[in-house]
C-alpha cells in the first residue's frame, strides 16, 4: 500500500516544526542560563556604613556580596543604597533594572548586547557602592535599616527581599546610641528591645532577610570590642531583626578590606563619628563559703570572686565586717577572719566590696559557736573552665582566668597553689590567682595546669591547656611564568597543614602570590594573584574550606616593593616570605607581618 504523498509532506512538516519549537525552546533556556537570573524577582537594599571608625568593605574579594549584585542585576530586579550616616534619608540611590529586561525575541537576536548590558549594570552598581560614604556626623544604623525596609515595602510580595548591611553595627545616634550613658553595649539585649518596643522604634522587617557584613570590624580611633561586647552587639541586632519580623538574620564572616577609609577619603572628607567607649562593668562579688560555722576564738579563710562584663575588669576586693564591731574580731585583706573568744554574737556578716566599683559587693554569714569546728579536709578541687582550655600563642586569645574551688565536708580551706607543667617558655606563666598567659614562643602543644590544696598537697586536680599556633609559613612553588604548581601533591600537603587551623579559628589566612616580574601594566601582580587563586581553589574544592576565610593577594615587582632588580635588596622580605619568586606563601591572618604586607605598611 503506497503512502499518500500529500499526507507524507504534512507529517514531515509537522516533525520539522516540532523540532524547531524544541530547538528554539532549548536555545531560550540556554540564553536564560547564560544571561538569566539565578533568582527571579530579587530586591535588595544595601545599607553602607563607610566611616572613619570602620574597616573598608572588601568589594573585590567577597563572594557573598558579589552574588547579591549578580542576583539583582541578572533578575532585572530592584536595588537601592542607603548610607548609614547621621541623616540616612539624605543619602539614597535607587536602581530599577526591570525596564531593561529583554523580550524573548531580543534574547535571541541581541544576546551579546544583553550580556554587555548586564556586565555594565553590575560594574556601575559596584562602583557606586564603593564610593558611597558618610557625609553627615554620627551613624544612625537603626534609621538606615528602617528606611531600607520602607523602600522594600513597595516591592511586590512575590519578591525575595533582602537588606544587606555593610558596617560595624555601632550606631552612635538616634534611639539606639551605643555611646550614651545607658551603656547599651553592656546591657542585656532584651532591655534594648523593650526600650525600642515601648517607643515604637523597631523597623518593619516582615518578609525581609537581614544579612550583615563586617559587624564589629572597627578601625581607629574606635578600639576593638572585647569578645563579650562583640557577642552582645550581635545578639542585640539579632533580636532587633527577629522582633521586627525578619524571616532570617545572617552575620557573614567575610573578611573586611585591606585599607583604611582615610586612604581613599581624606580625613576632611569623612565626618566625625563618636567613639563607643570600651568599659568593663562589674556585676557582682561571690564569697566562698557563703555560710559557715566558726568557733569563737578561732579563724577562717574566705575567698572572693569578682564577676562582670568585659575582658579585663579589676578583681580586687576590700574586706570588712558589717554592723557593730567587736575589737577582737577582725577580717584581713586576704580574706582571713579571726573571731574573738568573747564575741558572743550569734552571727556576723562579712563583706567583700569591689575596689573598682564600691557599689558592688558580696556577703557571707558566719554563725558563731562555742563548739569546736574544724574546717573539713579537702576532698576534691573543681577547676573552671575545664577539663580543657584552648589558648593561642598570640593575642587576643593567649590568656585566660581559671577559678579553683576546694570541695569537702564543712567547707575546707580554699588556699591553693597554681602550677604549669610541660611549658617550654618561662614567659608562659600562671599567677597566684589563676591567670594564665601563653608566651608567643611557647613550643609545647599541651601544657598541664595543676591546682593543689595548701592544706593537703595530696589533693590536687589538673586540666589540659591546648596551645594552638598557626603552622610555620608554608610555600608552594610554581613553574616559570605560570600559575601551575611544580608539584600538585606538594601543594596539597602544604594546604593540608593549614586546613585544621583555618577551621578552628575565625581570622583565616593570606595567600600571597609572589613574582619578581617588573609588573609593567600590572602583569606581575596579576600573575601573583592567579597563583594565589590556584591554591585557594585547592582549599575550597578539595578541603571544603569556607572561601571567605581566605584572602588572596598578588605581589609583583611594583607591589609592594619598587626596585630595579625585583626583590634584590629587600632582605627583610626575602627572609620572611619569598626568598625567590614563583611561589605562593601561606600565612595566618593573625600574623602581624602578614597584616603589614597586606596593608602595604611592611617597609
Edge-to-edge, what's the strand order for the sheet holding 550-555? 474-477, 583-588, 509-514, 550-555
Give the strand pairing for 78-83 and 42-48: parallel
**CB atoms near residue 482 (< 10 Å):** 13
Residues 174-223: pLDDT tens digits?
A: 999 998 877 788 878 888 898 998 888 999 999 999 999 989 888 878 88
Taking residues 441-468, report their average pLDDT: 91
Question: Residue 30: which pLDDT band, with cuts at 50, 70 and 90?
Answer: very low
Taking residues 395-421, report their average pLDDT: 85
- Report the alpha-carbon distance of residue 17 to residue 23 in Å, rounded: 10
Per-residue pLDDT at 94 exceeds 50? yes
pLDDT at residue 57 in the model? 81
Cell 548586547 found at? 113
pLDDT at residue 601 in the model? 53
pLDDT at residue 105 in the model? 54
Per-residue pLDDT at 309 exceeds 80? no
Per-residue pLDDT at 92 exceeds 50? yes
Cell triple for residue 577? 616570605
Per-residue pLDDT at 243 exceeds 60? yes
Element (H, E) at 400: strand 399-401
pLDDT at residue 23 in the model? 56
The total number of residues shown for the chain amounts to 603
Nearest to 185 by CA among 226, 145, 130, 132: 226
Cell triple for residue 247? 524571616
Question: Residue 51: which pLDDT band, with cuts at 50, 70 and 90?
Answer: confident
pLDDT at residue 327 in the model? 93
The highest-confidence range among 225-229, 394-398, 423-427, by mean pLDDT, is 423-427
Taking residues 248-260, report their average pLDDT: 78
- Report the alpha-carbon distance of residue 207 to residue 455 in Å, rounded: 64
pLDDT at residue 188 in the model? 81
What mean pLDDT, rounded, does the chain reach?
81
pLDDT at residue 48 in the model? 92
CB 342 within 8 A of CB 328: yes
Determine what percent of the chain is predicted with pLDDT higher than 70: 80
pLDDT at residue 600 in the model? 60
pLDDT at residue 338 in the model? 95
Taking residues 365-374, report their average pLDDT: 90
DSSP assignments along 23-68, one per residue: HHHHHHHHHHHHHS-SSSSEEEEEEE---TTBBPP--TT-HHHHHH
Domains of the chain in start order, with CATH, are: 39-269 (3.40.50), 281-369 (2.60.40.60), 380-468 (2.60.40.1080), 474-599 (3.30.1330.60)
Q: Which residues pair with 18 in a beta bridge?
A: none
Q: What angle do CA 29, 33, 39 make, to 5 degrees?
A: 110
pLDDT at residue 213 in the model? 92
Per-residue pLDDT at 494 exceeds 90? no
Residue 362's alpha-carbon distances to 321, 347, 356, in angstroms, are 12, 17, 14
Give the strand pairing for 460-468 and 388-392: parallel
CB 176 within 8 A of CB 142: yes
Among 219-223, 393-397, 487-491, the least confident range: 393-397
pLDDT at residue 471 in the model? 66
Residue 483's alpha-carbon distances to 224, 479, 490, 509, 532, in angstroms, are 38, 7, 15, 19, 8
DSSP assignments along 263-292, one per residue: HHS-GGGS---PPPP---EEEEEEEESSEE
pLDDT at residue 388 in the model? 86
Nearest to 196 by CA among 175, 222, 166: 175
Query: Is the four-CA dihedral 566, 572, 574, 577 of positive or negative sign?
Result: negative
Residue 203's alpha-carbon distances to 81, 88, 239, in angstroms, are 17, 14, 12
pLDDT at residue 337 in the model? 95
- Report the alpha-carbon distance of residue 79 to residue 548 in Å, rounded: 24
Question: Secondary structure of 490-512 in the HEC alphabet?
Answer: HHHHHHHHHHHHHHHCCCCEEEE
What global pTM score does this model have? 0.53
Question: Residue 572: which pLDDT band, with cuts at 50, 70 and 90?
Answer: very low
Taking residues 325-345, report their average pLDDT: 94
Where is pLDDT greater, at 415 or 590? 415
pLDDT at residue 237 in the model? 94
CB 46 within 8 A of CB 82: yes
pLDDT at residue 52 in the model? 80
Per-residue pLDDT at 522 exceeds 60? no
Residues 257-276: pLDDT tens digits?
A: 656 665 555 555 678 788 88
**CB atoms near residue 292 (< 10 Å):** 17
* 3-class DSSP state of 255: coil
Amino acid at each position: 500500500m503506497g503512502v499518500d504523498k500529500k499526507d507524507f509532506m504534512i507529517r514531515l512538516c509537522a516533525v520539522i516544526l516540532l523540532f524547531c519549537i524544541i530547538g528554539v525552546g532549548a536555545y531560550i533556556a540556554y540564553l536564560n542560563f547564560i544571561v538569566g537570573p539565578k533568582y527571579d524577582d530579587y530586591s535588595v537594599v544595601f545599607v553602607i556604613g563607610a566611616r572613619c571608625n570602620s574597616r573598608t568593605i572588601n568589594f573585590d574579594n567577597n563572594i557573598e556580596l558579589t552574588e547579591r549584585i549578580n542576583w539583582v542585576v541578572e533578575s532585572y530586579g530592584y536595588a537601592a543604597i542607603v548610607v548609614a550616616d547621621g541623616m540616612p534619608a539624605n543619602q539614597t540611590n535607587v536602581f530599577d533594572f526591570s525596564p531593561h529586561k529583554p523580550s524573548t525575541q531580543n534574547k535571541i537576536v541581541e544576546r551579546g548586547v544583553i550580556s554587555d548590558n548586564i556586565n555594565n549594570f553590575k560594574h556601575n552598581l559596584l562602583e557606586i557602592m564603593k564610593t558611597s560614604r558618610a557625609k553627615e556626623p554620627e551613624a544612625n544604623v537603626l534609621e538606615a535599616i528602617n528606611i531600607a525596609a520602607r523602600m522594600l515595602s513597595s516591592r511586590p510580595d512575590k519578591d525575595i527581599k533582602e537588606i544587606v548591611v555593610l558596617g560595624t553595627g555601632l550606631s552612635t545616634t538616634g534611639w539606639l546610641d551605643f555611646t550614651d550613658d545607658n551603656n547599651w553595649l553592656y546591657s542585656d539585649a532584651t532591655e534594648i528591645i523593650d526600650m525600642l518596643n515601648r517607643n515604637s522604634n523597631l523597623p518593619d522587617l516582615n518578609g525581609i532577610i537581614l544579612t550583615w557584613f563586617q559587624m564589629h570590624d572597627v578601625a581607629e580611633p574606635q578600639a576593638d570590642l572585647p569578645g563579650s561586647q562583640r557577642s552582645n552587639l550581635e545578639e542585640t541586632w539579632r533580636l532587633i531583626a527577629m522582633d521586627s519580623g525578619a524571616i532570617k538574620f545572617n552575620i557573614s564572616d567575610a573578611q573586611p578590606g585591606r585599607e583604611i577609609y582615610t586612604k581613599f577619603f581624606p580625613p576632611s572628607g569623612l565626618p566625625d563619628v563618636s567613639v563607643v567607649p570600651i568599659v568593663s562593668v562589674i556585676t557582682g562579688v561571690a564569697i566562698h563559703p557563703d555560710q559557715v560555722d566558726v568557733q569563737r576564738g578561732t579563724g577562717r579563710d574566705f575567698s572572693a570572686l569578682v564577676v562582670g562584663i568585659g575582658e579585663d575588669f579589676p578583681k580586687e576586693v576590700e574586706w570588712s565586717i558589717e554592723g557593730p564591731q567587736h575589737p577582737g574580731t577582725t577580717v584581713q585583706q586576704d580574706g582571713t577572719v579571726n573571731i574573738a573568744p568573747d564575741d558572743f554574737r550569734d552571727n556576723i556578716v562579712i563583706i567583700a566590696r569591689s575596689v573598682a566599683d564600691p557599689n558592688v559587693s558580696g556577703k557571707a554569714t558566719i554563725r558563731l559557736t562555742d563548739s569546736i569546728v574544724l574546717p573539713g579536709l579537702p576532698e576534691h578541687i573543681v577547676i573552671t573552665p575545664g577539663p580543657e582550655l584552648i589558648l593561642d600563642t598570640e593575642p587576643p586569645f593567649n590568656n585566660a582566668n581559671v577559678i579553683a574551688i576546694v570541695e569537702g565536708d564543712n567547707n575546707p580551706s580554699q588556699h591553693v597553689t597554681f602550677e604549669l607543667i610541660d611549658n617550654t617558655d618561662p614567659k608562659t606563666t600562671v599567677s597566684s590567682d589563676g591567670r594564665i598567659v601563653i608566651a608567643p614562643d611557647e613550643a609545647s602543644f599541651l601544657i598541664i595546669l595543676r591546682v593543689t590544696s595548701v592544706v593537703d598537697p595530696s589533693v590536687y586536680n589538673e586540666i589540659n591547656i591546648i596551645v594552638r599556633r598557626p603552622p610555620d609559613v608554608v610555600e608552594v612553588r610554581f613553574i616559570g611564568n605560570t600559575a601551575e604548581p611544580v608539584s600538585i601533591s606538594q601543594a596539597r600537603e602544604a594546604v593540608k597543614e593549614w586546613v585544621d587551623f583555618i577551621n578552628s579559628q575565625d581570622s583565616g589566612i593570606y595567600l600571597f602570590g609572589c613574582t619578581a616580574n617588573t609588573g609593567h601594566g600590572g602583569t606581575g601582580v596579576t600573575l601573583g594573584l592567579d597563583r594565589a587563586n590556584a591554591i585557594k581553589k585547592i582549599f575550597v574544592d578539595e578541603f571544603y574550606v569556607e572561601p571567605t576565610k581566605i584572602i588572596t593577594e598578588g605581589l609583583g615587582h611594583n607591589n609592594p616593593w619598587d626596585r630595579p632588580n625585583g626583590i634584590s635588596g629587600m632582605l627583610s622580605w626575602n627572609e620572611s616570605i619569598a626568598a625567590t619568586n614563583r611561589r605562593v606563601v601561606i600565612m595566618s591572618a593573625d600574623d602581624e607581618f602578614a597584616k603589614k604586607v597586606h596593608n602595604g605598611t611592611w617597609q
